Chains A and B, each alone.
Chain A
Amino acid sequence: MNSNAFWHFLTLQLIKERSKHLSVIFISMMILFLLSSVLFISSSIRFSLEETLKVQPDFVVSRIQGGTAVPTPVKWSDELLDIYGVSQVTPRVYGRYFFEPKRKSFLLVGVDFMEEQSHQKLQTLIDKTDIKAFFEGKQMLVGQGVKDYLETHFYKDAYNFLTPEGKFEKVTIFNTLPSQTNLISNEMIVLPIDLARKILGYTEDEVSDIIFNVPNTDEWDMMTDKLSALHYDIHVVNKKEVEKSYANLYNYKGGVFLILFLILLFTFALILYQRYSMVYSTERRHIGLLRALGWSINAVLRFKFTETIVVVSVSYILGVLFAYLYVFVLGAPLLSQIFLGGDNLTNDVHFVPVLDFSVLSSIFLIYALPFIASVLIPVWKVSVTDPKEAML
C-alpha cells in the first residue's frame, strides 16, 4: 500500500470511528489537562519567586523568646554594621492586622520613604500619580485583594485601624498596587514606617526583624555562626534556606499530583488493554478482517501504531493547550487555591507563562509509552492468530 492510500484509509477509519476515539481522547485529555495545569502553576510560581528572591536580602535576623518571635531591638542593626563583610542593614516593620468581624487579615508593611531608594521605587511602581500627594497626611497603598475586600465592607476611601492602645488611626487609601504583583501583594498594605509601628504596636526602639546582605556567599555559613554567638535569642535565616523551603513545598504539591497521574494512567492503560484484548470485541474482528484481506502482520501493526500515535498526539496537544489557556489566560480558578489558599482574601492572580519543555516531554513519554503498549500488545496477539479465528 502506498503512502497516500495508507493515510487516506487511516484518516477515513479515524473519522468513521470517531465516537470510539473521541471518548479515549476526552479521557486522556482530562488527565493531561489536570497534570499539566498543576505543573504550569507550580513552575510559574517557582519562576516568580526565584525572580523576586534575587532582590531579597541575604540574611534575616529576628529575636525569639521561648520559641516565639518577639520584637527585635533596633540597636542590633548597629551591631550588625560593625561586622566586617555586612552591608545594607535595614530594619523591617511588618505584621498581620486582623479584620475582626470576619477573621480576615492584611499584611501591613512599613516602608521608610525618607530613604531615597524607596522614594524612587515607589515612583516607578506607581508612575501615573503625583507621588508628593502620598506624603500629605496618613495614606496607604493597598493590594488588589485588600481593595476589593474593603470596598465590599464600605471602606471605599479610608480605613480606621484600631491600635493596641485602643485608639483609631484613620488612613486614606492612596492607590492600589499593580495587579501583576497579586502573587505577592494581594493582601499587602504599604504605609510609612512610623504609622505601621503605631498600628502594629511597636515602640521607637523595636522592629519586626533586620535584613542585611553579605556579598561573599562563601562567608554565609561563617556569618550564621558569628551571629548566633552574638546573642543567645537571635534567629538567623539566610536566602538559601528560603529557596530550599519554597522548592520543597512546591515539589511536594506537584509530586502528589504526579502520583495521582501515574495511578490514573495505569488504570487507563489497563482499560485500554482490556478493550483491545476482549474475545468478541469489534477491534478483534476488524484486525481479523484486515488480515483476511491480505494485510501482513507488519502492515496491521504499522496501521494500529500510526492510529494510536495520532490519538495520543491529539489528546496530548489538546490537554496541554487547554491547560495553558486555563492557567495563563484564565488564571487557574479553583486549582490556584491548592497552591495559594482561599481562606483569607480572594486572589485574582496572574501567572507568568512558563513552559518547562523537559517536563512537557517527560509527560508525553510517561503518557505515550504505556498507552501505545496497551494497544499494540493485544493487537499483535490478535494479528498473529488465524484470521478466521479472530473474526469469530
Chain B
Amino acid sequence: MIKPFVSFLLLLILMVFMMSAHYLLFPYKKTTQTMLNISSLTHMSSLALSVSYDESSVNMTYPEMPALGKMDFLYEL
C-alpha cells in the first residue's frame, strides 16, 4: 500500500475510534434517569412537539362536519 492511502486509512480508523469512544462513554444512565425523573414527576411522557395550534381537528367552514385535513389513520391513539 502506498503512503497517502495508508495515511487516509489511519485517519478513517481514528474517526471510527472517536465515534466509538463517544458512543461508549455517553452518560446513558444519567440522561435516562433525568428523563425518567421528569416523566414520573409530571406523569407525562409525550414528546415536546413544536407544532402550532392544531386547527385541523375543527372544520372551520362546516363545524358540524369532521375535519378534512386530519390524519387519523396515523395519529389516532
CB neighbors of A among B28-75 (8 A): 28, 30-32, 34-53, 74-75
The chain B residue with its CB closest to the CB of A328 is B22
B17 CB, nearest partner CB in chain A, Å: 11
Distance, CA A352 to CA B28, complexed state (A) = 7
- When distances are taken between beta carbons in the complex, the residues of chain A under 8 Å from B76 are 245
Distance, CA A340 to CA B41, complexed state (A) = 23
Q: Which A residues lie at the B interface, using CB under 8 A?
A: 7-8, 11-12, 14-15, 45, 48-49, 51-57, 90, 92, 94, 96, 98, 103-105, 107, 109, 111, 118, 121-122, 124-125, 143, 145, 177-178, 180-188, 190, 211, 237, 241-242, 245, 248-249, 252, 314, 317-318, 321, 324-325, 328-329, 337, 340-347, 350, 352-353, 355
- When distances are taken between beta carbons in the complex, the residues of chain A under 8 Å from B32 are 51, 352
Total residue contacts A-B, CB cutoff 8 A: 153
Indicate which residue in A8, A12, A15, A321 contacts B19 across the interface (CB closer than 8 Å). A321
B46/A184 in contact, CB under 8 A: yes
What class of interface size applies to chain B in its complex with A? 35 or more
CB neighbors of A among B1-33 (8 A): 1-2, 4-5, 12, 15-16, 19, 22-23, 26, 28, 30-32
A161 CB, nearest partner CB in chain B, Å: 17
Distance, CA A184 to CA B36, complexed state (A) = 10
Indicate which residue in A105, A178, A317, A347 contacts B53 across the interface (CB closer than 8 Å). A105
Residue of B31, B37, B39, B47 with most partner-chain A CB within 10 A = B47
- When distances are taken between beta carbons in the complex, the residues of chain A under 8 Å from B74 are 248-249, 252
Q: List 15 A-B contacts (CB under 8 A).
A: A12-B2, A56-B39, A94-B42, A94-B44, A125-B38, A145-B50, A177-B38, A180-B30, A180-B34, A183-B47, A184-B38, A249-B75, A340-B48, A340-B49, A345-B50
Residue of A8, A180, A345 with most partner-chain B CB within 10 A = A180
B43 CB, nearest partner CB in chain A, Å: 6
B45/A49 in contact, CB under 8 A: yes
B35/A184 in contact, CB under 8 A: yes
